[in-house]
Structure 1
Amino acid sequence: MLSHIESIGDRFVHTLAPFAKTGETVDIRKYVGAFAMDVISACAYGINISSIDNPNHPMVMNVKRILSTDVSVGLMLSIITPGLARLLRAEPFDRKALQYFDELTEQILTERKKFNKYSKSAKQTDFIQLMIDSEKLDKDFGYDSISDGEPESESKETGIKSTKKSVGKLSYDEMVAQGILFFIAGYDTTSASITHAIYYLSQHPKCQQKLYEELKTCDEFTYEKLVHLKYLNAVINETLRMAPPFLRVFRDCVQDYTLGNT
């Protein structure tokens, strides 16, 4: 999926280049938000939407419908008592937006499986393809990833039927929900964190230059290379410390801890 992120990142830099030359003020959150939207769309669904140029793309519009959902009874019930919410059929998000992602996932699954069957071209590298591949892996290991609980064999001694067990498999509804969750959990948090990082670096030119010099030493932006960029990781960690995307950490300290030499 890094190839998706790299190409979208190149487009992001190309879009901002004119502002760097003219010194014109730019609403960086707008462009970072588009970057986050494009990355999630590509990594989850394999769709290149270029949202900064296509703000009315159906995916962009439906994601905004979900993210702009006000706190409602349905949303609160789904968070606090999901069982009761299902019983009352309370919808936490916009029904039309959910239907869009439902139909989109079904369409992509159908087309992707047909493509994989008849084409020898390289497969897509995204979340949906990983789910399709996981079904094949289950079969390779002797598991049934399509029909849970079907009898596999019957013991002659006990007469008890054993069943094939499904591992690493998401149901269709879970795949739809997971795709939506990528946007809910990843869009605003990612765009806010990157925006803050850019802002802090603009306020500290020396830090910005030091980071730039470190990035120039990296010949390839892979995960294995990025984890060794100490200053980049320091910038990210400091940004998250100063402007955390979440205001609450759901963890309790169970014992005293001494930080460094404090």
Structure 2
Amino acid sequence: MSTTTPLTPNQLIFLFITSLIGLVVFYVKRKHSFWERQNVKGPKPIFIVGNIFENMKTSLPELYSKYYKKYGKVFGTYYGLQHNLHIGDSELLRNICVKDFNVFQSGFQSVYVHPIEENSLINLIGPKWKRMRSMLSPTFTSGKMKKMFKIIKSCTQDAQIALTKLSKKDNGAFEPKTFWGRYNTDVIAKCCFAANLDVYSDEASTLQRVFHELFDAQLARILFIFLAPEWLTKAARIANVPTKNLEYLRDLTLALIEKRKNEKEKVEDFLQILIDSGSSEDNNNGKDDSKVKFTPEEIVSSSVIFLLAGFETTSTLLTWACYRLALNPNIQEKLFNEVSKADIQDYDVLSGLTYLDAVINESLRIDPPIIIFQRTAHEDYTLPGTNIFIPKHTRVTIPVYAIHHDPDNYSDPEEFKPERFINESPKPFTFLPFGAGPRICIGMRFALINAKLSLATLVQNYKILPTRETPTPKSLSHAKGSLVLSTKSLKLKIEPR
């Protein structure tokens, strides 16, 4: 009669470890086969980390364009073990962004949201988002924009003084990223807080430094957010942007709100509009005060988001517009002929300049400031016309840069041709610089009028020229790991007309 020899403690430990490893491998493989099981193509994930390292090694414009061409307009990737779907098909985007908006109510989702951001339009969903959106929308009407336009004009006047000095130094050397970063800091600070900053001095202001730190891609932070367990990210309070910078902007806003209480003369800026939103003259319609008044927390959140959203995108747009005009002198001269004959200091005249609109739109198409945007499923969903199942909490990424460079959407997509926006309108859901659907950027009108005035004023007074150091479009390298279309340096020069 045979007897079974009991396992030794070491054998038991070995068996346990190998079984555990086997379970982990099975679990990870199962997670990383989610899209394959649905016949959705995509890059092969690395064990546990997924495709996150590719996002760090290659700039997002190049990476998503490569995926888009190789796998088609619908492809899947993995951030760690999390499956993400990428959609560039215009009809599917119509469903995601508009028709089924009730399913995809939110944009970028963060594991940890700082309390300052909790009441912002970006992070709210459902009835709270609808209330906030409806309350903020009147802030960006034509009437309000005309009042802001006066402030923007004063900023362009200060910019002209700075440009005059630049044109006399170093053979007119012009670094648009630096210059427009300073200019837009001035615009945002004045339009939001009526704050006067010496933005063109050699010493960067604290506010400028805070802005730049907020938008600098931080590899360690991004890796931690994507790879660490959600409970650890929340416990460590790791937000998408440095919390100390958000807290600086919060304290600045609160101090200004307190200061405004004692000022007799009101300033027509964004902060004052929010403060006045609940004034007695606005609340005599028998409405519930909670629906028409902003809470102090909401004023702070809205002001901070206005600062953040308005700073980087417009300065990035102007940077790339200058680059494209420098490389296309015939287009620049055509734009000069239009703006030199118009009273660009008049809001309505500026808004009606056809070729200026086309140049701005083509700049937004070929060099979109925001490379991607996202929607998150709030319930299980199947893509219409397909068998692709999207579980609740799945992120859907819209690769804006790749869509804008798709020859199916735009002929000769790598060519800078503003006329394409005059001769025809882009196909719906193929031009997405500000997003799409109900969550489209609420500050779009402000960003566009700011960009139009500043670019028109520059072209009216200066020629923008390339230098021997100016990269060609083919040799251009974009910053890695950043959602904003950025590059380290663009060397141009300006020459007075």
Instruction: Write the distance in 2 (CA, Å) between the matches of 1:184 and 1:224.
Output: 27
Select which of 205, 209, 215 maps to 2:333: 209
Q: Is the 8 A contact 1:74 1:90 kept in 2?
A: no
* CA apart distance, 1:54: 6.3
Corresponding letter in the other structure for 2:150 = S
Q: Tell me whether 1:5 sits opposite 2:129 in the alignment.
A: no
Using a 3 Å threshold, how does the CA distance of structure 1 residues 131 and 249 change in structure 2: closer, same or farther? closer
Q: Distance in 2 between matches of 1:196 and 1:26?
A: 13
SS at match of 1:217: coil
Q: CA deviation at 1:227?
A: 2.0
**Structure 1 residue aligned with 2:285:** 141
- Residues 254 and 211 of structure 1: CA distance in aligned 2, closer, same or farther (over 3 Å): farther
Specify the SS of the correspondent of 1:135: coil
- 1:138 to 1:207, Cα distance in 2 relative to 1, 3 A: same
What's 2:126 paired with?
none
Query: In structure 2, what residue type is equivalent to 1:45?
Result: F
Deviation at 1:166, TM superposition (A): 2.5
| Greater relative contact order (Cα < 8 A, sep 6+) | 2
| Cα distance in 2 between the residues matched to 1:46 and 1:240 | 28
Q: Please name the residue that 2:178 is paired with.
A: 30
Match of 1:104 in 2: 252
Residues 69 and 20 (structure 1 numbering): CA distance in 2 closer, same or farther, change over 3 Å? closer
For 1:96-153, what per-residue CA distance to the aligned partner results, in whole angstroms no more than 9, with x for missing partners? 32232222111111111221xxx2x4x211111001111114433344xxxxxxxxxx
TM-score (norm 2): 0.41
- The corresponding residue for 2:297 is 173
The residue number in structure 2 matching 1:20 is: 167
The equivalent residue for 1:52 is: 200
State how far apart, in whole Å, the 2-side matches of 1:173 and 1:66 are.
Answer: 21
The answer on 1:90 being equivalent to 2:237 is yes
Aligned position for 1:154 = none
Flag the 1:103–1:10 CA change in 2: closer, same or farther, 3 A: same
> CA offset at residue 47 of structure 1?
0.7
* Aligned amino acid, residue 160 of structure 2: V
Aligned partner letter, 1:242: I
Letter in 2 for 1:7: S
Q: What are the residue-to-residue correspondences of 1:113-192 with 2, within 5 Å?
A: 113-115=261-263, 119=264, 121=265, 123-136=266-279, 137-143=281-287, 164-192=288-316
Aligned residues: 231
Contact 1:74 1:85 in 2 (8 A): no
Asked if 1:228 corresponds to 2:375, the answer is: no
> Cα–Cα, structure 1 residues 254 and 239, in superposed 2: closer, same or farther, change >3 Å?
farther
Q: Could you say which structure has the higher strand fraction? A: 2
Quick check: which one's helix share is greater?
1
Q: What do residues 168-215 of structure 1 show as CA deviations (whole Å, max 9, x unaligned)?
A: 433222222222223332222211110111121122222222212211
Distance 1:28 1:258 in 2: 29
The amino acid of 1:134's aligned partner reads S
User: Hey, what's the Cα distance between the residues in 2 that align with 1:28 and 1:73?
Assistant: 27
The one-letter code sitting in structure 2 at the alignment partner of 1:229 is L
Structure 1 residues not aligned, in runs of 5+: 144-163
1:201–1:207 Cα contact (<8 Å) kept: yes
Percent sequence identity over aligned pairs = 27
Task: Go from structure 1 to structure 2 and tell me whether the alpha carbon gap of 1:55 and 1:9 turns closer, same or farther (over 3 Å shift).
Answer: same
Stretches of structure 2 that go unaligned for 5 or more consecutive residues are 1-147, 376-382, 386-407, 411-423, 428-497
Report the aligned-residue RMSD: 3.4
Quick one: which amino acid aligns to residue 141 of structure 1?
Answer: N
Q: Do the aligned residues in 1 keep the contact of 2:180 with 2:318 (CA within 8 Å)?
A: yes
TM-score by length of 1: 0.74
Q: State the 1:35 CA deviation.
A: 0.7
